[in-house]
Structure 1
Amino acid sequence: MSLIKFNNGNNSKSLSPGFNDIFETMFNDSFLSDRMISRVPAVNICETQDHYLIEMAAPGLNKEDFNIKLDKNLLTVSVEQKKESNTQDRQYNKREFCYSSFVRSFALPDSADDAQIEASYTNGMLNIHVAKKDEAKQIVRQIEIK
């Protein structure tokens, strides 16, 4: 979403400068903008010669919190975390890294081998390896010129 600032110069129909400042301040306020940002982990997806890799940054979770399902070619990663009221005498001024629940879905290409999907969670990073079918793997060979 982008906001367009009204600036019509000396036009008599222009809005007052204070009016623009109120809206700019309101939409740039960290309290409001934090609520507007979706609370889902960031994802990197890369492809190698023999597999696809999905990396999801999800710190503060346990591997038991994740639920990974495959339905046809749709891979779905979900988390349903139960809140524990263990504050340990802490009073937070701002708390950002808290995922109570989220769902991310990925459409796998036809070249993905759905029988060979592995997942691991280490140091706040969920890694999902999706193998490619043998016929989809790129074969590199030298072509002789005749």
Structure 2
Amino acid sequence: MSLIKRTDRLPFLFDDFFATDWLGGTTNTSRIGFNTPAVNVQETDNDFKVELAAPGLSKEDFNIELDNDTLIISSQTKSEKETKENAGKYTRKEFSYGSFKRSFNLPEIVDNASIEAIYENGVLAVIIPKKEEAKIQPKRLIEIS
């Protein structure tokens, strides 16, 4: 047995380099906290869809803000359970606090005024439509005059 804990990780000098998403997504995903829900981001021809896995919460627990071109999804919850067997003494009192905040930089092609959110079956879905001029147009023939 040793007092020095050995790890299989590269030296910390390389952590920032390898944790950075060079393609512009979420940076430093290794530093996202334990209580931070997982996120899927999907792009279609007409919109973007952000899905956030947050079971056990209600729609009232979420706060969704748009600050310029940054979409901010956050939540702060407090839960207390109390069991009393003897009056005046706690035999057990359990409580928990949780919070998270996720930010997404939106591109200029989205219609900020038409963003919608739906919470269903433990998944928060935020639909971010694209502007009409940014949508893929169907192929058409051009007549030669």
Flag whether TM exceeds 0.5 (same fold): yes
CA pair 136-110 structure 1, distance change in 2 beyond 3 A: same
Counterpart amino acid of residue 103 in structure 1: K
CA pair 72-23 structure 1, distance change in 2 beyond 3 A: same
Q: Deviations over 1:38-70 (max 9, x none)?
A: 120000001011110000000110100000000
Residue 23 of structure 1 is matched in structure 2 by 5
Q: Where does the alignment leave 5 or more consecutive residues of structure 2 unmatched?
A: 10-30, 84-91
CA contact (8 A) 1:40 1:99 kept: no
Whole-angstrom CA distance in 1 between matches of 2:99 and 2:2: 38
Root mean square deviation of aligned Cα: 2.9
Residue 56 of structure 2 is matched in structure 1 by 60
TM-superposed CA distance for 1:37, in Å, is 6.7
1:102-113 matched pairs, under 5 angstroms: 102-113=100-111
Counterpart amino acid of residue 47 in structure 1: E
Q: 2:73 aligns with which of 60, 69, 77?
A: 77
When normalised by structure 2's length, the TM-score is 0.65
Q: Secondary structure at the match of 1:52?
A: strand
Residue 138 of structure 1 is matched in structure 2 by 136
Larger radius of gyration: 1
Q: Secondary structure at the match of 1:85?
A: strand
1:117-132 matched pairs, under 5 angstroms: 117-132=115-130
Q: Where does the alignment leave 5 or more consecutive residues of structure 1 unmatched?
A: 1-17, 28-35, 92-97
Higher share of residues assigned strand: 2
Percentage of pairs with the same residue:
46
TM-superposed CA distance for 1:82, in Å, is 1.9
